[in-house]
Amino acid sequence: SRKLTVITGASSGLGLNCAACLAKTGRHFVVMAVRDVEKGKRVAKEFGMPEGSYVVMKLELGSLQSVRDFVSNLKAFKSIRPVDNLICNAAVYKPTDPEPAWTDDGFEQSMGINHFGHFLLTNLMVDDMAKAKGARMCIVGSITGNTNTVGGGLVYPQADLGKLQGFESGAREPISMADGKPFFGAKAYKDSKVCNMMTVSELHRRYHDSTGIAFSSMYPGCIADTPLFREKRPWFRKAFPWFMKYVTGGYVGMEEAGERLAQVVDDPECTKSDVYWSWNGGAQQVGRWSPDGKPRGAGGSGGEIFENAQSDAVRDRETASKMWDLSAKAVGLT
Ligand code: NDP
């Protein structure tokens, strides 16, 4: 029987490519959790997702009420229980906004959508997913949150949650940053990704033994041509994929990135919890796993999945635990 797999932000980029890949394996019934249902339905068709392999459902991560409604709508669908896999993929990136924009609940949008919305969603889904055998939950991370890598450490600004002064003061307008400092869009995104990766370790610590759910994060490689970079200037959008591909070798095409994310919930070997999945080498290489079970690509080295190390910042247990408690308060769980 097919696994029930929920993907947020499945109407674009990584999420859409992953959703299409999983639907085509025939091993998953995919719930595309999207903010724009009409767009979701249109792109699912454009990507050739087989009829009967998916459903498109409304989820606006910038609204805690919408997150709650989504979870209860899922439960109303008798066939969509329990959920086997949850992939938290949606995100916004606002590096050029001079002023913060706010979610319905008054959170700065990058933190509100990328972290708080997913934080509530994962918490509300744990009990249901505990009933599934071999359930997996993955929150898409980023090296930008990883201060010990080139992309995360050397590229200004660095993620830094400080002492979570902003969260402590409630994390709502006019407070825009986790550390309570003035708004800085590029940093807000990185901070939200650190919270995403910390949430994974905390979910593991709090729920893995009691539920059996495997909690993971992953970095797909730099998908330099997704709309995530839509706010960057045109020259950057043109130069960046080229730069990533030929200079750093970290570039990965969207289709392959989608397969990587799909692998995390589909590969029988990706059952370990508290793991940060990464892939070595360049793109378009033969991987051990492929959606149709056949080796893909024309040879070469790399493209193999491996367990990466989290940065010290993400591994900071004290801050992670405080981040969890303050987030639970901010989204109304405690
Ligand atoms: P895209 O912008 O293509 O996709 C983001 C998705 O999130 C879209 O489907 C978008 O919906 C959805 N979304 C945005 N806001 C909301 C909201 N308020 N509620 C619900 N859904 C929302 O970017 P990518 O595919 O590149 O990014 C996907 C993930 O990959 C992110 O977590 C990102 O941080 C991560 N990532 C990306 C990298 C890259 O190089 N691109 C590198 C490392 C990590 P809509 O379709 O309506 O716009």
Nearest one of 47, 4, 49 to 28, comparing CA atoms: 4
Residues 108, 114, 118: CA angle, nearest 5 degrees: 115
Evaluate whether residue 170 is within a structural domain: yes
- Whether residue 62 has its Cβ less than 6 Å from ligand 1: yes
* pLDDT the model gives residue 207: 98
What whole-number distance in Å separates Cα of residue 145 and Cα of residue 125? 25
Could you tell me which residues are beta bridge partners of residue 108? 102
Nearest one of 181, 185, 141 to 315, comparing CA atoms: 141
Number of domains in the chain: 1
The predicted-structure confidence for 105-152, as pLDDT tens digits, reads as follows: 999 999 999 999 999 999 999 999 999 999 999 999 987 545 445 444
Question: Which of the four pLDDT bands, split at 50, 70 and 90, describes residue 57?
Answer: very high
Q: Residue 316 pLDDT > 50, yes or no?
A: yes
The predicted-structure confidence for 18-45, as pLDDT tens digits, reads as follows: 999 999 999 999 999 999 999 999 999 9
Evaluate whether residue 230 is within a structural domain: no
Evaluate whether residue 246 is within a structural domain: no
- Whether residue 39 has its Cβ less than 6 Å from ligand 1: yes
The amino acid occupying position 231 is E
Sign of CA dihedral 219, 225, 226, 227: positive
Helix (H, G, I), strand (E, B) or coil at 277: strand
Indicate the pTM of the whole model.
Answer: 0.91
What whole-number distance in Å separates Cα of residue 23 and Cα of residue 27? 7
The amino acid occupying position 174 is P
Site to substitute for ligand 1 among 6, 223, 237, most atoms within 8 A of C-beta? 223
* pLDDT the model gives residue 156: 72
Evaluate whether residue 61 is within a structural domain: yes
Evaluate whether residue 165 is within a structural domain: yes
The predicted-structure confidence for 230-287, as pLDDT tens digits, reads as follows: 555 565 555 555 555 554 556 677 888 899 999 999 999 899 999 999 887 654 444 5
Evaluate whether residue 296 is within a structural domain: yes
* pLDDT the model gives residue 210: 98
The domain in which residue 133 lies consists of: 3-222+252-330
What is the Å distance from ligand 1's center to 210 Cα?
31
What whole-number distance in Å separates Cα of residue 51 and Cα of residue 44? 9
The predicted-structure confidence for 190-240, as pLDDT tens digits, reads as follows: 999 999 999 999 999 999 999 999 999 998 887 766 666 655 556 555 555
* Residue 68's CATH number: 3.40.50.720
Q: Residue 54 pLDDT > 50, yes or no?
A: yes
From residue 51, alpha-carbon distances to 4, 24, 26, 82, 305 in Å are 15, 10, 11, 22, 31
Evaluate whether residue 132 is within a structural domain: yes
Residue with tokens 């201060």: 147
Q: Which of 49-53, 136-140, 155-159, 321-325 has the lowest mean pLDDT?
A: 155-159
Evaluate whether residue 284 is within a structural domain: yes
